[in-house]
Amino acid sequence: MHGEAGKPIVISAEDPRNPPVIRGGGECLHISKASHLDLRALVLVGARYNGLNIDDGGQYDSPTHHIMLKDLTVRDIGPEGNCDGIKLSGITDFRVEGCTVERWGDGGQGIDMVGCHRGVIEGCTLRFVDDKGYGVQAKGGCTDIIVRRCRFEHAGARAMQIGGSTGLQFFRPPLKPGGEHAEARNITVEGCTFIGSTAAVSFVGIDGATVRFNTIYRPKRWAIRILQETRAEGFVPCRNGRFTDNLIVFRTGEWYEGGVNIGPATAPTTFTFARNWWYGEDAPERSKPALPVSEKEGVYGVNPRLRAPEKGDLSVEAGSPAHRVGAHALPPQTGVR
């Protein structure tokens, strides 16, 4: 299925207010070897394995490319096993905008990317439970991915997983002997809101990622995990993450290991932490996290004055001392994808 630059093939609801529903089956929709394709305003419900699956047909040297997914609703997938709401494998130059994904497989992901490059996920909402599956995942050699202004509501045990664990045969492009390998590189997560989840953000086997200007509210164990799950020859230890300008509000009874979990075979001292605002709302004097390196200009134990967290509004009140950090403070985007 191939459109042309400036003339994509468009599959869309005629009336977005009354979108068509694609229901059930092993997968609601599976598309392989496509280019210049837009899917808009569709509802995908109740598939046994994946809601939407787009891939390169196993042709690693010929990726599917220029894909737009906009205003899709995907829900009630699985429910057991590695079943994804939206599964993308071997895709380049893509956007996922304004989509809502709810209730995927208990061992799957809301949005799963394997070997994907130059993509943007923006303005999406993911909802599930705190302790099953993952929200968004980028692994298998993913590079140059931006996750921006998304909302994660109890979106799995690891709401945002940067990296992961991938069978070596599934990396795109294929791994070359003698090289330095990583599950993901140059991933940016910015302007997002995280509510709940066992861990808000996990860095897993990555070599370079930036997490900035996000709001994290009441994670159930950790704000951050630094892990290494792929141990094959040539893989670098999880390294070079940046965690800056984030607002983290937690309760000490839901806070383990100082809010940061560091696994073996990682390189946590290569990480950078700067200008984050940490607030234990039930015990402000215990707000300082257990970071692997010193933080530059961090703030600990000062009430950021969230507007209405009990109603899901995690913006800050006028005059808040935390107005320069968190999702509400993401600078305007200019000249970016």
Q: How confident is the model at residue 207 (pLDDT cuts 50, 70, 90)?
A: very high
Looking at the fold, whether 152 and 278 belong to one and the same domain comes out as yes
Looking at the fold, whether 25 and 141 belong to one and the same domain comes out as no
Which residues, in sequence order, are bridge partners of residue 35?
A: 2, 65
Looking at the fold, whether 130 and 51 belong to one and the same domain comes out as no
Domain that holds residue 140: 108-329
| Share of residues in the chain with pLDDT > 70 (%) | 99
Model pLDDT for residues 238-259, shown as the tens digit of each residue: 999 999 999 999 999 999 999 9
Residues 6+ apart with CB under 8 A from 167: none
Looking at the fold, whether 40 and 143 belong to one and the same domain comes out as no
| pLDDT at residue 333, rounded to an integer | 79
Looking at the fold, whether 46 and 135 belong to one and the same domain comes out as no
Domain limit, last residue, from 38, 56, 78: 78
Model pLDDT for residues 54-85, shown as the tens digit of each residue: 999 999 999 999 999 999 999 999 999 999 99
Looking at the fold, whether 240 and 284 belong to one and the same domain comes out as yes
Looking at the fold, whether 66 and 117 belong to one and the same domain comes out as no
Where b means 16+ CB within 10 Å and e means fewer, 215-230 reads: bbbbbbbbbbbbbbbb
Where b means 16+ CB within 10 Å and e means fewer, 61-72 reads: eebbbbbbbbbb
Domain limit, last residue, from 59, 78, 97: 78
Looking at the fold, whether 307 and 258 belong to one and the same domain comes out as yes
Residue 336 in any domain: the answer is: no
Looking at the fold, whether 1 and 50 belong to one and the same domain comes out as yes
Q: Are 227 and 198 in contact (CB under 8 A)?
A: no
Nearest alpha carbon to residue 201 among 251, 253, 238, 252: 238
The pTM (predicted TM-score) of the whole model is 0.97
Residue 44 in any domain: the answer is: yes
- The total number of structural domains in the chain stands at 2
Residue 100 in any domain: the answer is: no
Looking at the fold, whether 157 and 209 belong to one and the same domain comes out as yes
Backbone angles phi, psi at 190, to 5 degrees: -145, 145
Residue 87 in any domain: the answer is: no
Residue 99 in any domain: the answer is: no
Is the predicted pLDDT of residue 335 greater than 80, yes or no?
no
| Per-chain mean pLDDT for the chain | 98
Residue 335 in any domain: the answer is: no
Is the predicted pLDDT of residue 104 greater than 90, yes or no?
yes
d(CA 291, CA 150): 25
Residue 254 in any domain: the answer is: yes
Is the predicted pLDDT of residue 336 greater than 70, yes or no?
no
